[in-house]
Structure 1
Amino acid sequence: MVRSSFENICIFHILDGLRDGLSHFSDGARAALIYATDPAGPLRVYDPQDLLRGHEPKLLDFYLESENWRGPLPEGPEVDFLRPEHLKQLQMAGLLAFGGRSRSVPYQVWFTEEHPTMCSTGPTLHWMEYATRLFSQNYELQNVLNIDTSGYVLQQCASHAIRDYIVDERANMGKWDTQLRVYPILDAVIGVSKTMEEGCWPRGELVFVEPNEQYQLNYLALFPDNDRPEIHNFKRVRKLLQSVEGSERKLVSDGRNIVGIAVGTVPDSCIVARYHGSHGFLLLNGLLVCSFSEGNFSSSNRKANLVELEELFVDSRLNLSEQHSLKNIVTALVDSSTEKRHGCTLVLDFAPAPERMSGQYLVHPLDLRLGRFLELAKALSKIDGALHIGADLKLHGFGCLLDGHSVPGENLARGARYNSALRYTAQHDSAIVVVVSSDRPVSIIQGGIELTAACALKTLRGCPTPPILKDWLNG
């Protein structure tokens, strides 16, 4: 009974810490665990927020219809992480999995959500690696005093997960004997991102290159060895970043100091920070690692998730080519609005003849498949009111006001733009409205209902005994 009680408390705190940490990194996340603490005992599942619901057939086939999940335990106290081929058999749509085996916990697999807007899954998988280690260590020690600490550790792992992912990826490139220290680099990236200069946020590219490769770059300006700004002098680095703003020039650092200003290509192993004003991106080998804004790292690529909109297009009278074009048009308008941090509303009118609203209409509607007209539409989206886009993929009007009667589900906290869209779509079945708030949330509304609304996640309470997986699947 004592061991079972400790098991429940241990799992509760580690999963809650993992979920809380990932929720801040990925803007809301759930977590679940399938495990066995006895080599001959049954598998149990802890899924307090129903992350695994809907995947029962896959779990049934993998865990109950075969014994493929079983395997030898490591001889020492270390954790033997599950091989990629094992985890590949557990691939389920929208989920990430990571786990391992140890003498204390013979089998464990942690699951979390794979958001469609993730820059990279690497940092999240490293986060789950920490959970795997902590569960094994805590269950081995059976020390209640350590459990709270483990939960707190998992809540604050963003920089550690990003650092470990970058180190592993650079090691795969052959950078074992490296002089780049990733933690100071991450501190500098965030520090510069929070430093304004003459009322403006930073823009431009800051490249961190291996010291023994720094002279391979094409420098326009090179600073003397004894007078190179240190990267932790955020204010000075921020000032220098102005020299590369709005250009192909790059500010170059050896990981400790600013070396100079260069142009052209850089080695693949370089860590690159791209500043876009109030936010930015961290890249390695030309690929996104994560984004950052307001002093925090995030897994988001800051692109709007328009999956629900694509599904609605399938039911429209548009052919596949028109659906693809309309998706690109909406994506371009939404990205422009979020990038420039102004809200906008798009009315997608699928009626045979677009219904006129109160607003400014055009003698000749603009074909938004043409770049010059799409750029004009981006500018017009700044004007109060909605853009009226017809099924012909043309902009018919702008500055349009959405009228309608009050409907259930209105949210005064969301403002007039959002609630007007609810009212308008409730009375116009042929319309879909996309609302972009100035603080980046994107809402897709049809029939007076927000299709992108997320239900509040269940709060984790208490430390219930996780059910046996077989019973959970049958229940």
Structure 2
Amino acid sequence: MINTKYCNLLIHNIYNGLVEGLSHFSQNSRAALIYACNPEDELRIYDPQKLLKGHELKLKEIYIDDESWRAQLVQKLKNQPHDHYVTFNNLQLAGLISFGGSSRTFFYQMWFTDHHPDMCSIYPTERWLEHAGWLTAQDFSVENIAMGTSGHVLQNHAVHAITDHIVDVRNEILGLDTKMLIHPILDTVLKLSKTKEEGYWPRGRLVFVDPEYLDRIDFVAKIQRHERPMTSNIKHVRKLLLAVEYSNRKLVSDGNTIIGVSNSPVPDYAISALFKGDHGFIEIRGAPICSFFDGNFHSTIRRAKLVELEELLLDTKLSHDQAMELFQVVAELVHTAERRRHGCTLVLDLNETPVTLSGHILEPVLDLKEPELLNLASSLIKIDGALHIMSSVALRGFGCLLDGKTIRGENRARGARYNSALRFTAEHDQVIVVVVSSDRPVSIIQHGIELNAHCEWTPLPGYLYQPESLKTYLENI
């Protein structure tokens, strides 16, 4: 039986590695663990960064109010091999990603981390948590393991987590034991993303298809077998990508060589790398699972999802349809500014009588539900000043100036757009201002407050944090 001090140190090292690894893959990330080492042990919680604060009632409902799960789990593990690891899916807690597991060596564990709004997919992060649980169970079963090794593994687990998810999806579609190796493909993609051709970053789509399924692909041009370049020849592959830039064509590979150019739809089982200049995305089943830039993989979709704005508009007096129409127009304008890499300011005026702004006032107003007029507004956002958009999804003015008195909470590091929006909204009710910075941050401001500002991140403690009883923790809320 492993003593409590060793168990605490083991969890501490794995936790630190997990948090550091996830913080590089996503934004600054926290983690937490609920666990019981043995079937008869009470549940304990390890949460030094207060990730689970606010979820106490749901945790009480899951773990304390009904403890039948414990007997069911004991029965489930009874006939399992000694080191077999049984997994548990996401608990679906708001704002969190969770994944857990159980084995005869470590009875129960559920890991949690932040669900960032701008994630391409939660599944690589789930695989990361799954591996953290597996390492915990393994380390707990072998007391003489080198302390800290598992933490180091989790610090650099991004490629493995992405690989695990891709393998899971492909196994679901094609069955087990597919032959195409994922690691070399991801390595090729990263190398290509860092390779310029005549001073330009790569653009276009590179699709990896299993050799046995190539006959299902319609090729526009196919290279003779003995002339096909190896994917390890990065410079040659980079030149071939020029053939599919700014088009619907795809460069097709079997994982080892470049086969040719196709304009067929990408099959669900194929791995697709979409290069978009200085960044790109890995996709499977037609959906992105991660992005890549600066020589590494990341979870971000690289565009604002505006979740806070959507919730804010749905809470106003606008009907659901009106709120969604306004949200979709604003989202389109924001994403246009992001793609073009310039800043802009959008004033959403929900008052029955619009506020008075100094700028170019339009007569009559432009109905932004019309695609042609929305396209015009997409050009007007490049002009200095804000767009004045009414609740009727109509553009009232452009090049508008925002003013107001100095308030607390201004941030000189954010520039004129941001601070002007803080001052203006502090003096006007029923007004929301969306500020897009040229370096991609998007701020949603109302009543002089940035609603989507990140809360101050709690750093890891510099000491060995002591887990506490989950029951005691929940009784103290």
Give the TM-score range, shorter chain. over 0.9
TM-score (norm 1): 0.93
Aligned equivalent of 2:416: 416
Q: Distance in 2 between matches of 1:457 and 1:250?
A: 42
Provide the secondary structure at the position in 2 that maps to 1:407: coil
How many pairs align?
A: 470
Structure 2: state its 5+ residue gaps: none
CA apart distance, 1:2: 8.8
Q: Write out per-residue CA displacement over residues 172-229 of structure 1, whole angstroms, 9 at most, x where no aligned residue.
A: 1124343311111111112222223333332211110111222321111111222222
Q: Distance in 2 between matches of 1:177 and 1:470?
A: 44
Q: Distance in 2 between matches of 1:320 and 1:67?
A: 41
1:370-385 superposed matches below 5 A:
370-385=370-385
1:341-360 superposed matches below 5 A:
341-360=341-360
| 1:62 and 1:68 in contact (8 A); partners too | no
1:151-190 superposed matches below 5 A:
151-190=151-190
| 2:174 and 2:269 in contact (8 A); partners too | no
Residues 364 and 202 of structure 1, relative CA distance in 2, 3 Å threshold: farther
Residues 200 and 402 of structure 1, relative CA distance in 2, 3 Å threshold: farther
Give the letter for the 2:151 counterpart.
G
CA apart distance, 1:42: 1.1
| 1:79 and 1:133 in contact (8 A); partners too | no
Matched, 1:80 2:85: yes
Aligned equivalent of 1:388: 388
Q: Distance in 2 between matches of 1:299 and 1:240?
A: 28
Provide the secondary structure at the position in 2 that maps to 1:59: helix
1:176-255 superposed matches below 5 A:
176-255=176-255
CA apart distance, 1:46: 0.7
Give the letter for the 1:360 counterpart.
H
Give the letter for the 2:83 counterpart.
E
Aligned equivalent of 1:13: 13
Q: Distance in 1 between matches of 2:109 and 2:87?
A: 9
What root-mean-square deviation, in Å, do the aligned CA atoms of Structure 1 and Structure 2 show?
2.1
Give the letter for the 1:82 counterpart.
T
Aligned equivalent of 1:330: 330
CA apart distance, 1:315: 4.2
Aligned equivalent of 1:428: 428
Q: Distance in 2 between matches of 1:398 and 1:236?
A: 48
| 1:14 and 1:147 in contact (8 A); partners too | no
| 2:118 and 2:305 in contact (8 A); partners too | yes
Structure 1: state its 5+ residue gaps: none
Aligned equivalent of 1:66: 66
Provide the secondary structure at the position in 2 that maps to 1:361: strand
Provide the secondary structure at the position in 1 that maps to 2:42: coil
| 2:83 and 2:105 in contact (8 A); partners too | no
| 2:48 and 2:465 in contact (8 A); partners too | no
| 1:79 and 1:100 in contact (8 A); partners too | no
Compare 92-101 and 459-468 and name the one that shifted more.
Answer: 92-101
Q: Write out per-residue CA displacement over residues 39-73 of structure 1, whole angstroms, 9 at most, x where no aligned residue.
A: 21211001122222222222212222222332234
Q: Write out per-residue CA displacement over residues 278-337 of structure 1, whole angstroms, 9 at most, x where no aligned residue.
A: 322211122322222222222223342322212322343422221111000011111111
| 1:79 and 1:136 in contact (8 A); partners too | no
CA apart distance, 1:241: 1.4
Residues 173 and 116 of structure 1, relative CA distance in 2, 3 Å threshold: same
| 2:87 and 2:130 in contact (8 A); partners too | no
Residues 293 and 384 of structure 1, relative CA distance in 2, 3 Å threshold: farther
Residues 339 and 63 of structure 1, relative CA distance in 2, 3 Å threshold: same
Residues 38 and 351 of structure 1, relative CA distance in 2, 3 Å threshold: same
Q: Distance in 1 between matches of 2:194 and 2:225?
A: 27
Aligned equivalent of 2:467: 466
Aligned equivalent of 2:398: 398
Compare 229-238 and 8-17 and name the one that shifted more.
Answer: 229-238
Provide the secondary structure at the position in 1 that maps to 2:68: coil
Give the letter for the 2:165 counterpart.
Y
CA apart distance, 1:246: 1.8
CA apart distance, 1:338: 1.4
Matched, 1:109 2:110: yes
